[in-house]
């Protein structure tokens, strides 16, 4: 099975343009999984809550999720993608999972980064894993990586692959995800964006690219450049994520000493 990422530079506020870009690049893919960046349809640097409100959409009835469903069907591909969600008066930094069968599920970002806290509510879905014909897929969003509990919770729920839509600005994540994969023995696909945003009086934000596919043994199967628009899928064997034994005497799940851990 093939799984990978689409890395590009969204144009702030131009949802239709960003979806057309994704749709154009996706014509080279015809199966497996593709992860898109966090807030891929809206861009990242909001300067007022009303902007985030105007650009957010209901899930799954909104325009972006409906277009992703259509793309999943047309390309026979599972898509994990970050979008701004509106639910009543609340806004969430969310990710949707769609497949050839339609809408599968949504996750709301648990750990909000910096000014996201001004626009979005903290996610209330918890970490979820969906069983699909291509494997068990869990999602976390960007800064969630900083909290090892995120990946661990997904692993304990049976995730084979963590789809990780991101808008990374700090340099640590691509290397840190190697450890997340080794300690949980699963695949992770971090889809980051490229480019720069400078809106209003705010400081410019530079996104670090370097999207990657990491295997359960920590091997980086593919890592993109900092700036390039890139779509890459690697051939992965889901069974590699289902063996949690390091040797006949060590199993990373059954060796856990929960009574000695603090929550
Ligand atoms: C981030 O969570 N977008 C850094």
In this prediction, residue 33 has a pLDDT band, given cuts at 50, 70 and 90, of: very high
Q: What is the pLDDT of residue 215?
A: 98
What is the average per-residue pLDDT within 150-155?
98
197 lines ligand 1 (CB under 6 A): no
Protein residue with its CA nearest to atom 2 in ligand 1: 143
Active site residue 173: no
User: Could you give the percent of the chain with pLDDT greater than 70?
Assistant: 100
Whether the pLDDT of residue 30 is over 90: the answer is yes
**Catalytic entry in 85, 142, 173, 197:** 142
* Atom of ligand 1 lying closest to residue 166 CA: 3
Question: Cα(43) to centroid of ligand 1, in Å?
Answer: 12
168 lines ligand 1 (CB under 6 A): yes
Active site residue 2: no
Question: Cα(13) to centroid of ligand 1, in Å?
Answer: 18
Q: What is the pLDDT of residue 114?
A: 97
Cα separations (Å) of 49 from 46, 89, 117, 215? 7, 11, 10, 38
Whether the pLDDT of residue 5 is over 90: the answer is yes
Q: What is the pLDDT of residue 1?
A: 96
Residue for token pair 């349809």? 41
**Tally of domains within the chain:** 1
Tokens representing residue 171 in the block:
């340099």
* Model confidence pTM above 0.95: yes
pLDDT in tens, 196-226: 999 999 999 999 999 999 999 999 999 999 9
Cβ(237)–Cβ(32) under 8 Å? no
**Rg of the Cα trace of the chain?**
17
Query: Distance between CA atoms of 112 and 105, rounded to whole angstroms?
Result: 20
Active site residue 212: no
Q: Name residues whose C-beta falls within 8 Å of residue 60's C-beta, 6 or more positions apart in sequence.
A: 66, 69, 96, 103, 106
CATH of the domain at 160: 3.60.110.10
Task: Identify the DSSP state of 57.
Answer: B
What is the average per-residue pLDDT within 54-60?
98
Task: Output the average pLDDT for the chain.
Answer: 98
Whether the pLDDT of residue 73 is over 90: the answer is yes
Half-sphere exposure of 224 (CA within 13 A, CB side): 27
What is the average per-residue pLDDT within 74-90?
98
Residue 78's domain comprises 2-260
Question: Cα(257) to centroid of ligand 1, in Å?
Answer: 31
Ligand 1 pocket: which of 95, 147, 166, 193 to mutate (most atoms within 8 A of CB): 166
Question: Cα(120) to centroid of ligand 1, in Å?
Answer: 13
Q: What is the pLDDT of residue 183?
A: 98
pLDDT in tens, 110-144: 999 999 999 999 999 999 999 999 999 999 999 99
167 lines ligand 1 (CB under 6 A): yes
Whether the pLDDT of residue 263 is over 90: the answer is no
Tokens representing residue 34 in the block:
């593709």
């Amino acid at each position: 099975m093939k799984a990978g990422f689409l890395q590009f530079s969204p144009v702030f506020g131009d949802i239709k343009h960003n979806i057309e870009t994704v749709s154009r690049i996706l014509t080279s893919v015809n199966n497996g999984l593709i992860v898109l960046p966090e807030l891929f349809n809206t861009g990242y640097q909001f300067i007022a809550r009303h902007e985030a409100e105007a650009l957010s959409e209901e899930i799954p009835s909104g325009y972006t999720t409906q277009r992703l469903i259509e793309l999943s069907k047309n390309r026979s591909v599972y898509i994990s993608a970050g979008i701004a969600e509106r639910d009543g008066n609340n806004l969430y930094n969310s990710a949707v999972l769609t497949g050839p069968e339609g809408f599968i599920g949504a996750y709301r970002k648990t750990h909000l980064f910096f000014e996201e806290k001004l626009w979005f509510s903290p996610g209330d879905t918890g970490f979820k894993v969906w069983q699909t014909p291509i494997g068990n897929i869990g999602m976390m969003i960007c800064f969630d990586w900083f909290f090892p509990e995120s990946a661990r919770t997904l692993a304990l729920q049976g995730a084979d692959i963590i789809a990780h839509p991101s808008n990374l600005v700090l340099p640590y994540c691509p290397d840190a995800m190697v450890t997340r994969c080794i300690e949980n023995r699963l695949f992770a696909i971090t889809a980051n964006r490229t480019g720069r945003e400078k809106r209003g009086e705010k400081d410019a934000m530079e996104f670090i690219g370097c999207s990657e596919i990491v295997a359960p043994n920590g091997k980086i199967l593919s890592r993109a450049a900092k700036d390039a628009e890139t779509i890459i899928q690697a051939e992965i064997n889901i069974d590699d994520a289902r063996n949690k034994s390091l040797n006949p005497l060590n199993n990373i799940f059954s060796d856990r000493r929960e009574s000695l851990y603090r929550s």
